[in-house]
A and B are shown apart, each in its own frame.
Chain A
């Protein structure tokens, strides 16, 4: 594992920040960012996302750890020497300047000539679809437009990386959907490496090349949206990304293949590679399965027996609440009009199965 074999554009190495609370706000965080990548930093509010961005930008000095950019640790560099584009949640536009002056600010400090500056400002405003808005004041723009000015101001200096702190959270629902595509579009046209911070898993899944999931200051998992969704590495990721059912299960090693049991009933056969290597006979585990992976059938063979508590039509799917023999509850999503959906009458007794590949197993 040499540095040369993985030409990471930017590498975060054991980054830690301690405000002096119970535990560090960011705790030995490490991951790589490739050039041109659109990477998401996803986690619940308070998990340390903004703190990470502020360390990136040089607005906070890490307690320990490195941020390596262009082969050099930038931690000791002041913010004005880092060449990063940071877009704040509040946009942080300069209210006393016009849109064009806002965008030109970074260029002016870099002593870029008047003509070149004007051309680059125009180009940046075109990239965010704000041609013709150069002479307006920020106060005369809508939230979405201000957002785009902030992005233009950050990308015009051709930063090593564009850092976006929850850029969509202040917008109303319709604009949010629009800006989602807009931001992704701007990024693919400019090719700027982007770190996109969000607490919204939907945003992360739909926009990012890769997602780093954070919880309590620590990195839980990093991977493509599909990997994160299909193969969550921890129970936290399983529960945070999409919906997941967790079924308490006991490991039975006995003769033959290992089995999982819930209240004496067999779960679908586990993938042996999924089982914790140190798990002994009788170990308490948790089996994770997505609502859409659960299959319903009549109680005439394999499967966990369950009773249908409730069945709610929510448009594209029918949400069914199921109660297992021991009282544990699960949610399944069925296709409206399918044979399964016919079975899901409140009060009906059914059998539940799912495919081995749809089940993840964690230590309970």
Chain B
């Protein structure tokens, strides 16, 4: 009986893995196709589509834009999220509980609604199809994540160590810079990595406010797929997955994800 159960559970896990990884595996295979249309399995092999992608100005422009925006968004998420998380965990002020729950509101609202709202605010403000506009829109997505992760890390630190520093003569700013912040490194890295990935992959909000002069990579890819389907799409997907994976690996290697999320 237990043998049977163990077989069932193993089969189940295998099935889930297949469902999750099959599309990625197929995309990876197709990216090395020599065909000029999407077909599986490909009739021949080549690296030519990788070359085509790297030579495509629209994609390369999109990549550059996305990378710049993602880096700025990650930095701002940290710069804005850290003080917010600190206040929500360590300081006592009226309405703290309410703000704590409101912070995650953007995560539960449909992205379409958010996008529409952002468009309505950004158009009169002249922020559509600008770097600041895209950065702001992405921050709406990433800040709740950053604040939540930093909030968890911060409350897991407890207050004893900071208080010990205080009794040894450290003023609050010294405590924060010399004790709290260094101990918060895993959370800082994790929240930045998440913000970076979220911003780089973001499409729904971006679709509302990109313009012909300023496109992100996911939007460029989306538009391209609308018109044509060739293995170039698979190549781009592979490259984007590889980038996200690289960031995740860096986090895992430097601090470990379990630690980064404060468990």
A contact residues vs B (CB 8 Å cutoff)? 57-59, 78-86, 88, 90, 92-96, 105-106, 109-110, 150, 153-154, 157
Mark B126-160 against chain A: 1 for CB-CB distance below 8 A, else 0. Answer: 00000000000000000000000000000000101
Question: Which of B56-64, B98-106, B110-118, B161-169 is the contact stretch?
Answer: B161-169
Given A94-B179, A96-B182, A96-B183, is A86 in contact with B167 using a C-beta cutoff of 8 Å? Answer: yes
By a CB distance below 8 angstroms, the chain B residues around A80 are: 166-171
Q: How far is the CA of A324 from the CA of B179 in the complex (A)?
A: 63
By a CB distance below 8 angstroms, the chain A residues around B166 are: 58-59, 78-80
A94 touches which of B163, B165, B167, B169 (Cβ 8 Å): B165
B174 CB-CB contact with A under 8 Å = yes
Chain A contact surface mostly = loop
Q: How far is the CA of A62 from the CA of B72 in the complex (A)?
A: 46
Kindly state the interface size class of chain B when it binds its partner.
Answer: 10 to 19
15 pairs, CB–CB < 8 Å, chain A vs chain B: A58-B167, A59-B163, A59-B166, A80-B168, A80-B169, A81-B169, A86-B164, A92-B164, A95-B161, A95-B183, A105-B170, A106-B169, A153-B168, A154-B168, A157-B169
Excluding A80-B166, A80-B171, A81-B169, 7 further A-B contacts by CB distance (< 8 Å) are: A58-B167, A59-B163, A82-B167, A86-B164, A93-B161, A105-B168, A105-B170
B contact residues vs A (CB 8 Å cutoff)? 158, 160-161, 163-171, 174, 179, 182-183
A109 touches which of B160, B164, B174, B183 (Cβ 8 Å): B174
**CB <8 Å contact, A92 and B161:** yes
By a CB distance below 8 angstroms, the chain B residues around A83 are: 169
By a CB distance below 8 angstroms, the chain B residues around A150 are: 164
B164 touches which of A82, A88, A110 (Cβ 8 Å): A88
Q: How far is the CA of A264 from the CA of B164 in the complex (A)?
A: 60
Q: How far is the CA of A51 from the CA of B175 in the complex (A)?
A: 22
By a CB distance below 8 angstroms, the chain A residues around B183 are: 94-96
Given A95-B183, A109-B174, is A85 in contact with B161 using a C-beta cutoff of 8 Å? Answer: no
Closest to B168 in A: A106
Q: How far is the CA of A23 from the CA of B177 in the complex (A)?
A: 38
Chain A nearest CB from B129 CB (Å) reads 44
**CB <8 Å contact, A109 and B161:** no
By a CB distance below 8 angstroms, the chain A residues around B168 are: 80, 105-106, 109, 153-154, 157
Given A94-B179, A96-B183, is A79 in contact with B167 using a C-beta cutoff of 8 Å? Answer: yes
